[in-house]
Structure 1
C-alpha cells in the first residue's frame, strides 16, 4: 500500500482493542491509500461471508479521528454540510457527540461502498483544509484492554484467567515511583499495593493542573482519576475552578509512598497528553 499510494502509512503499536492508522502525504496519495484500505475491508467482508449464512453484504465502515474544533464545520449549520455529504456520496456519515477518551478529538464514522467512502473522505478533507483546527489538539491514544493488576514483592502482575502473568512495564513504573520511598515487602499491606509499608503517618501534597487538561486527568465519569486513586492508594481531591484562574489545584493525601506514586501517575499522564504530532490524515481501526 505504501509503494502503490506513495503515502506514509503508520500503524500504532500496543495490545489494544483498536489501533490507529496514520496516513501522511500529498492529497492524491492519501486518497489512494484510503481507497486501498476500503477495498481491502470489502475483500475481507466478502471472504467472511463465504462461511456465513448471511445473504446481504454489510457496508464497509471506517472511523476517522478528527479534532473536535473542526467537527462543527463538518456538520454545518443545522446539519447542512453533513446532509450534503450523505446525499452526494451515498455514504452514511455520523459525527460522535463526545470526544474520544483523554483527547480533544472526535470519531467520524463513514459507512457504505468503497467508492462512496472514498468520495466522502475527499469532501471531509476539503472541509478540514478550509477550516483548520483551533487551539491545541490532544490526540487520541487507544488504551490497552484493561485487566486486573496486582503488586507483590515489588513486581506487577496482570490477571489472565486463573494465572498471574508478570508485567515488566508496570513493574518498572512501580519501581520508579517507589525508588525514593520506603518499601518493605513483609510490612503491613494497603489495599492498593500489597507489600507497601503502611506505618508512616499520612501527609498532604498539592500540585496544579492547567484547566484545559483537568478533564483528561479526571476522565469520563471520573474513571481516570479513580484509576489513579486505586493504583496509588492515595486520597485525591480536585478543587473547583476559580474565576480568573487558568489552573486547578489537586490535593493528594496518604503515606509518602502513596503520594509519590499518585504524583508520578498524574505527571506521567500529563506528559502523555502533551505529546502532540501534526498529521494529515488519521484512520481509527
Structure 2
C-alpha cells in the first residue's frame, strides 16, 4: 500500500487550526438562538468550531479542519458579522459602513513569517487583499501568542485568511506554544457588609448587581424637588437621607495599607467618599481593628468600595493571589 499522499500544493488535505478571539457579544451572534447559527456553520463548512467555556468577556473560537473547510467557516463568520453591522446601523444615522474585524490568535513564533522581512509579507497581504492587517507588538497575557487583527470587507478578510493559512502551513510554530486563555469576568474575592467585590486588574469592582445598588444610592442623594416648590416635599424632613453608620473589621497586618503613610490614604478615602471614617485603636489580644464609617448610604458604599480597592491591591500586589 502506498502511504497517504498529502496534496501539498493547495494544502487541501492538511488539517489546520485557527484560533479567534471574540467578545461575548460576537460569540453570541455566532452561536445564535439555541445554537442554531453555529450548528449551521459546522454543517455547511465541514469545519469543527469550538467555543471556549467560561464566564469571560472574551472567548476563544477554535476552527479546525482542512483548509477549504476553514475558509468556508471564516466566510460564514465574516458575513454574519457584516449582517450584524448592517442591522446595528439601521438604527443609527451613520452612513459609512464600518469594516468587519476579526482577531486571530497566532503563536508568536509564527508572527515573524506573517510580517516578513522588513514587513514585506504583511504589506503584500494588505495590498493584494485590500484588508487591514495588524500584528500586536506584545504577547497576550500569560501566553506566547499574539493577536492578529484583520479588518475589511468579508471578501477581503477571506482572501487575507487564505494567505495567513498558507504562511502558517509553510512555517509551523517553533518550540512549545502557551495558548492564551481569557480571564474570567469576575472572581468574587472580598465580601464586606454584604457587598461582593470582584477583582479586575488592580481594582475591586462592586459586583454588577451591587453597581445598580450603588447607583440607586447615589440617586437618593439628589432629592427630587418639583419645579417652583422650594420647600421639601415633606415638611419637617431634611431633604438628604439620614446619616447612618457602618462598621468593618480589618486584619491588623492590612490596616497599614488603608491608613497609608501619615494617614495619607485614609484621608484620600475620606475626601473621595465624603464619609467620616474612624479607625479604632488596636485592642490587646485582638488581631483585627474596627473601622466605623458614618455618612449617607452612598458615602458609606463609596468608602467601603475604596477601602476594598486598597485591600485588594495590597493582597494581589504581594503576589499571594
Q: TM-score, normalised by structure 1?
A: 0.55
Residues 81-122 of structure 1, C-alpha deviation per residue, up to 9 Å, x if partnerless? Answer: 000000000000000000000000000000000000000000
Is this contact kept in 2: 1:150–1:157, CA < 8 A? Answer: yes
CA 1:121–1:192: 2 relative to 1, 3 Å: farther
Other structure's SS at 1:279 match:
helix
The total of aligned residue pairs comes to 277
1:54 to 2:94 alignment:
yes
CA 1:74–1:189: 2 relative to 1, 3 Å: farther
Determine the C-alpha separation between the residues in 2 that align with 1:51 and 1:116. Answer: 26
- Higher RCO by CA contacts (8 Å cutoff, separation 6 or greater): 1
Is this contact kept in 2: 1:153–1:185, CA < 8 A? Answer: no
CA 1:251–1:120: 2 relative to 1, 3 Å: farther
Paired residues for 1:167-246 under 5 Å: none
Larger radius of gyration: 2
Determine the C-alpha separation between the residues in 2 that align with 1:193 and 1:133. Answer: 72
Is this contact kept in 2: 1:105–1:137, CA < 8 A? Answer: yes
Is this contact kept in 2: 1:211–1:246, CA < 8 A? Answer: yes
Determine the C-alpha separation between the residues in 1 that align with 2:284 and 2:124. Answer: 42
Determine the C-alpha separation between the residues in 1 that align with 2:88 and 2:54. Answer: 26
Determine the C-alpha separation between the residues in 1 that align with 2:120 and 2:313. Answer: 31
Report the Cα offset of residue 277 of structure 1. 33
Residues 205-245 of structure 1, C-alpha deviation per residue, up to 9 Å, x if partnerless? Answer: 99999999999999999999999999999999999999999
Is this contact kept in 2: 1:183–1:196, CA < 8 A? Answer: no
Report the Cα offset of residue 155 of structure 1. 13
Determine the C-alpha separation between the residues in 1 that align with 2:236 and 2:189. Answer: 14
Q: TM-score, normalised by structure 2?
A: 0.49
Runs of 4+ residues deviating >3 angstroms: 151-267, 276-285
Determine the C-alpha separation between the residues in 2 that align with 1:278 and 1:108. Answer: 35
Question: Which shifted more, 144-153 or 54-63?
Answer: 144-153
Report the Cα offset of residue 145 of structure 1. 2.3
Report the Cα offset of residue 134 of structure 1. 0.5
Give 5+ residue unaligned stretches, structure 1: 268-275
